[in-house]
Structure 1
Amino acid sequence: MSLSAGYSVNPYVFAGIYVGAIPFFLASVAWIMRNKKRRKSLLLPVLSTGLCMSSAYIYLIIAGEGVPIWVYLLIVGLLGYGLYSTFRKVQTGKKFKDR
């Protein structure tokens, strides 16, 4: 908690955005799956999913001051893995609880 003041990032806001985005993320993935089945455009659902996946990190990037470079590298790694994982689930048509 004491570290957050030095970087101008409120951990409660970060956690709230992170947890609050989960239902929207899952709804966006369901939207992708539905559009994929119906052979409709995936552009908007993919954009929505990406925004939900990265919303807390966007807050950290915008609000953070003097954040070490390794944090940004970690964010890129987490987002990369999240995109890869989501893409695989959408490709196979499996639900997230079927891991």
Structure 2
Amino acid sequence: MWKRLISLSLTFGLAALGPPASAQMTCGSRETIRGTLETVYQESLVGRGLQSSTRMVEVWRASEQGNWTILVVTPEGLTCIVASGVAWSDATPKPLGVESQYRPG
């Protein structure tokens, strides 16, 4: 009896520590998500790259508002929003071999 009670308590206690339901990814067809990003958020595609042989990562952003979204797209067109935010800032890439001005510590 006590073992079962302790096991149930641990199980429900650990479940309470999990991420909230709102932290789940939003997924849908690429066309639907693309349309929403373009029309509702005024975002446009600014870059993409292969994460693996079966996944492509896309970065979308709105140049004036500064909001941004990162998508993962599968070959079948399933598209998931993995991150989004505000206050996007472009970084100027440094040529290879140039040391950074920042030195920790």
Establish whether TM, by shorter chain, passes 0.5: no
Considering Cα pairs closer than 8 Å and 6+ residues apart, tell me whether 1 or 2 has the greater RCO.
Answer: 1
Name the TM tier (shorter chain).
Answer: under 0.3
Pick the structure with greater CA Rg: 2
